[in-house]
Amino acid sequence: MNKSSAASSGSTDVVIIGAGPIGLFAVFQCGMLGFECYVVDVLDVAGGQCAALYPEKPIFDIPAYPTIESIELVDQLLAQAAPFHPHYHLGHPVLRLEPIDPASEANPGWRVGLGGGGEITAKAVIIAAGSGAIGPVRLPLDGAEDFEGESLFYVVQRKRDLAGKRVVIAGGGDSAVDWALALDGVADHISVVHRRNKFRAAPESVRKMHEAADAGRLEMVIPYQLKSLQGTGGQLESVTAATLDGDEKILPADVLLAFFGLANNLGPIGEWGLKLDHNHVVVQPDSCATNLPGIFAVGDIASYPGKLKLILTGFSEAAMAAHAIHPLINPDQELHFEYSTTKGVPAS
């Protein structure tokens, strides 16, 4: 995957805002029509909520897959998009969306301003932002940013990446409890840090976690809160947790998983002049075009009468948007529709 972790600039045919399943399929659809794509997402991994919330949970309504894990679906979509060599700008929110030529009524072109100072110019934009901007609630400790992405993670994709590690999990919701159970027998040692005795998670999962703790397979560090992190060069060595009374514990740690929730809101999208309906972008159902020329919206963020919020609907919308973009990018070229079985795909 051609991934950029630093905010950078560039010029392309289409910018896709959102690297969830619908955004990734939009890369494929645009690629089949010969468009170059840049993909931007505030999360530092591709996959959207499938990666951030339930990477190893099954999905049952993908055609030809009676069941498929969320992260496997993301992997397959990345592989499907790979032959078209998209540029991924992950870990960067889109802050600005401005027309290059405001006087143009047909297609002004767009400047997409990224957090960190980067800017991408594009002939068209597809917004595939799900329910809006989604990002983790970050750990409010001094120096935490030095470990982020190296040994401090807010999103985990595969439990095998943590095999044999000493893992500290902080949080009291479903993500914390689910990962404690998922890593049982995988990680070398698991410590669960939570400030209260009560967890905000499925009761059966909480019961299983306490059962594992009683059997000595994981350590419950309750009621404690994270106080400080120790390590060098981005690699954790230990985590200090403390009670409100000042009692402290030093927990050996190779990895810290901090699950304090995800912030989910429309974010800057609401400031771009798009027609909105209850925090959704209003589009034309036959093209997914918005009220702004050259801007399209697909997936859960798109709204029109009779909209069915299914991942299948989003895939269809991605195809419609890509075809509607063709005359904007190639105004003098007639589009001759071809099935993929006839056209094929380029070698990756």
Q: What is the mean pLDDT of the chain?
A: 90
Residues 73 and 175 in one domain: no
Residue where one domain finishes, among candidates 260, 279, 304: 260
Residues 6 and 89 in one domain: yes
pLDDT for position 343:
80
Is 76 strand, coil or helix? helix
Per the structure, the count of domains in the chain is: 2
**Weakest-pLDDT range from 181-185, 231-235, 277-281, 299-303:** 277-281
Residues 227 and 170 in one domain: yes
Contact between residue 92 and residue 73 where contact means Cβ atoms under 8 Å apart: no
Place 146 in a pLDDT band, splitting at 50, 70 and 90. very high
Select from 32, 1, 38 the least CA-distant residue to 16.
38
Residue where one domain finishes, among candidates 212, 242, 260: 260
Residues 67 and 157 in one domain: no
pLDDT for position 54:
66
Residues 228 and 110 in one domain: no
> Is residue 82 over pLDDT 70?
yes
Residue 327 resides in a domain: yes
Residue 36 resides in a domain: yes
pLDDT for position 263:
63
Kindly state the DSSP code that residue 192 receives in the 8-state scheme.
E
Residue 348 resides in a domain: no
Residues 157 and 248 in one domain: yes
CA gap 50, 134 in Å, rounded: 12
CATH number reported for the structural domain that contains residue 145 in this entry: 3.50.50.60
Q: What is the mean pLDDT of residues 260-284?
A: 85
CA gap 281, 93 in Å, rounded: 18
Residues 63-78 have pLDDT tens digits of 999 999 888 999 999 9
In one letter, which amino acid is 294?
G
Q: Which residue has the higher pLDDT, 347 or 201?
A: 201
Residues 33 and 84 in one domain: yes
Residues 18 and 123 in one domain: yes
Residue 50 resides in a domain: yes
> Is residue 270 over pLDDT 90?
no
Residues 145 and 183 in one domain: yes
Contact between residue 236 and residue 255 where contact means Cβ atoms under 8 Å apart: yes
Residue where one domain finishes, among candidates 229, 260, 291: 260
Residues 108 and 151 in one domain: no
Domain limits at 32? 2-134+263-343
Residues 169 and 123 in one domain: no
> Is residue 46 over pLDDT 90?
no
pLDDT for position 174:
86
pTM above 0.95, yes or no: no
> Is residue 8 over pLDDT 70?
no
Is 28 strand, coil or helix? helix
Residues 254 and 231 in one domain: yes
